[in-house]
């Protein structure tokens, strides 16, 4: 009885924590970005959900539309630019909605790309294995880590190991790959491979990957937690307590879903991986008239036109081609 009572008390305490967060998230300024606005705001925050095709959406479309207007990328808690002074127009980050707390809410629009969760989990496994296997070119995992660190120091650049959630998933996958290689020794796997997702001698099987606590932590409901601003690298102080409670009592996840839905409803645009081209066309239709108007106004200024003519023409063509 004492155990049951203790469990009930913990559930009630956690429910209070999660409800308090939900009510505050839905009512505070962090959810008041007006998706219903007819025009794109000064800053577009592209909330990049991993393995959703966001890289293609950005490089093949957004990057052309906002050429030379990209904000520096962010992998940490702090923004790498001052949104009140910067003239950049599009900010891309493998981060959660919590980053909007650092952006000017009345001047920001939010865009994201969503994908079927099963396809996204499978893609996450494939990428973790693909990138992890590249490190097998080294003698052991310690040397692989040293090479990566050397690369960071020399190039002073971010790598996939710095981006969430790969900064957690890849080291784990790399260590597992080396452990399996060491266990094999010089033996080769000669049997015919019938199921590429279940080659235990070489790589962690898919079923082991998806059932691991780390995959549950970062991938299974990763998109929902990202949109809710509750990833494990959230910059909001109460996020970790909320995450702990939802992990202990999964039924409380419905409140996280409430917040995620609310925020999706307020986003300027939501693209779908399964409908990439259609999603890009819809975005172009939403911003096309505004973009063309801005470019025509800029072209009417002689100095600006002289300096930016080529860029303007490129942006004009990409918008016009999407609208045709």
Summarised one tens digit per residue, pLDDT across range 185-209 is 877 766 677 888 998 989 999 999 9
Q: Is the pLDDT of residue 314 over 60?
A: no
182 burial type by CB count under 10 A (0-12 exposed, 13-18 middle, 19+ buried): exposed
123 phi and psi angles, rounded to 5 deg: -65, -35
156-187 residue pLDDT tens: 556 777 788 998 999 999 999 999 999 988 77
Q: What is the secondary structure of 223-268 as a DSSP string?
A: HHHHHHT-STT-SSTTHHHHHHHHHH-GGGHHHHHHHHHHHHHTSS
Q: How far apart are CA 138 and CA 287, in angstroms?
A: 48
Establish how many alpha carbons lie within 13 A of residue 142's alpha carbon, considering only the half-sphere containing its beta carbon: 0
Q: How far apart are CA 266 and CA 124, in angstroms?
A: 27
Look at residue 4 in the predicted model and tell me its pLDDT.
57
12-40 residue pLDDT tens: 999 999 999 999 988 655 444 544 455 78
Sign of the dihedral defined by the CA atoms of residues 131, 213, 236, 113, in that order:
positive
Question: Of the spans 192-196, 212-216, 235-239, which averages the highest pLDDT?
Answer: 212-216
Closest C-alpha to 232, from 152, 161, 167: 167
141's tokens? 């995992």
Average pLDDT, the chain: 82
DSSP state of 83: T
Predicted TM-score (pTM) of the model is 0.82
Domain ranges in the chain are 32-115+268-323, 118-236
Look at residue 254 in the predicted model and tell me its pLDDT.
96
Q: How far apart are CA 304 and CA 319, in angstroms?
A: 20
């Amino acid at each position: 009885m004492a155990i049951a009572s203790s469990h009930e008390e913990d559930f009630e305490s956690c429910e209070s924590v999660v409800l308090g967060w939900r009510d505050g998230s839905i009512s505070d300024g962090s959810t008041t970005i007006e998706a219903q606005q007819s025009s794109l705001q000064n800053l577009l925050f592209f909330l990049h959900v991993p393995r959703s095709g966001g890289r293609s959406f950005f490089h093949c479309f957004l990057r052309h539309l906002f050429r030379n207007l990209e904000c520096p990328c962010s992998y940490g808690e702090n923004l790498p630019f001052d949104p009140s002074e910067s003239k950049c127009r599009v900010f891309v980050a493998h981060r959660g909605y919590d980053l909007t707390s650092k952006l000017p809410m009345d001047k920001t629009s939010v865009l994201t790309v969503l994908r079927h969760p099963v396809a996204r989990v499978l893609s996450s496994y494939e990428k973790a294995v693909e990138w992890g296997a590249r490190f097998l070119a080294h003698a052991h995992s310690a040397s692989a880590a040293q090479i990566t660190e050397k690369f960071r120091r020399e190039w002073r650049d971010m790598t996939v190991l710095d981006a969430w959630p790969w900064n957690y998933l890849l080291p784990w996958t790399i260590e597992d790959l080396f452990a399996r290689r060491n266990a094999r020794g010089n033996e080769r796997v000669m049997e015919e491979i019938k199921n590429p997702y279940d080659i235990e001698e070489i790589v962690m099987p898919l079923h082991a990957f998806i059932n691991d606590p780390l995959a549950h932590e970062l991938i299974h409901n990763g998109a929902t937690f990202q949109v809710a601003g509750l990833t494990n690298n959230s910059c909001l102080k109460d996020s970790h307590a909320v995450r702990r409670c939802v992990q202990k009592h999964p039924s409380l996840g419905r409140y996280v879903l409430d917040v995620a839905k609310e925020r999706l409803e307020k986003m300027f645009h939501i693209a779908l991986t399964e409908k990439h081209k259609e999603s890009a066309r819809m975005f172009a239709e939403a911003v096309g008239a505004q973009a063309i108007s801005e470019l025509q106004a800029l072209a009417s200024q002689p100095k600006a036109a002289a300096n930016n003519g080529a860029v303007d023409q490129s942006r004009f063509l990409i918008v016009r081609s999407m609208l045709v």
